[in-house]
Amino acid sequence: MSFEQQKEDLRDKIHKELREALQKRLDSPDLNVTEDELRLGAFMEELEPQVRDALVVLNKKGYQTHSSGFYGESGELQAIDIEGKDLIDQETIQKLNDMNVRVGINEWSPDGSLKLEFKPENQDIQEIKEKWDKIAEVLPDRGSPTFSSSMWGGAMEELDEKMRFDIMKRRYELGFYNPDQKEEYEKWLKDNNPDK
């Protein structure tokens, strides 16, 4: 089996495990959504395990992330996209480069978000996780936690109306939205209130 096929198989295995874990969570009577999940706008089971902890740390440090984990045609790369292109100073970029992490502009993003990426030396998910954790440690704290700008991830559609509303209401009450989204959240909460 080729190295590229091994990487693709690992990505597929991880994604299958995530789908199963997410379905189990969604089927449970009590979702018990954490503050980290509210901040990230996704259930932990929607995030690949090798980047999960790093994403929580980065968001708490003030980096708004999206699109993370396996990247490339066969999953040969690991990547995290960070909204905003001028958030990392040259000294930190050099530290990341010394760790064989490439810092570049995401070519698919109209706003010019950053892409942190590296090519794992082998397919040990624990080693990949440890590298992501070190990357998150290297990035400087920006002073205040951030949150996902999206209303919520894809699994929300599978929840019943009441659960969806309760999650969005809690997110709103915690202030996990951009100021320009306040009206959108208020309208969504008004339009989707199951008790109206």
Q: CB–CB of 169/175 below 8 Å?
A: no
Q: CB–CB of 151/188 below 8 Å?
A: yes
Whether the per-residue pLDDT at 68 is higher than 60: the answer is yes
Domains of the chain: 3-31+42-147 (3.90.1150)
Per-residue pLDDT averaged across 94-105, rounded?
95
pLDDT of residue 45: 93
Express each pLDDT in 34-57 by its tens digit: 999 988 888 999 999 999 999 999
pLDDT of residue 4: 61
Express each pLDDT in 119-166 by its tens digit: 998 889 999 999 999 999 999 999 888 887 776 667 888 888 888 899
**DSSP codes joined into one string, 101-132:** -EEEE-TT-TT--EEEEE--SS--HHHHHHHH
Question: What stretches of 75-188 adopt beta strand conformation (E)?
Answer: 77-82, 102-105, 114-118
What does the mean pLDDT of the chain come to? Answer: 88
Task: Indicate the pTM of the whole model.
Answer: 0.88
Whether the per-residue pLDDT at 27 is higher than 60: the answer is yes
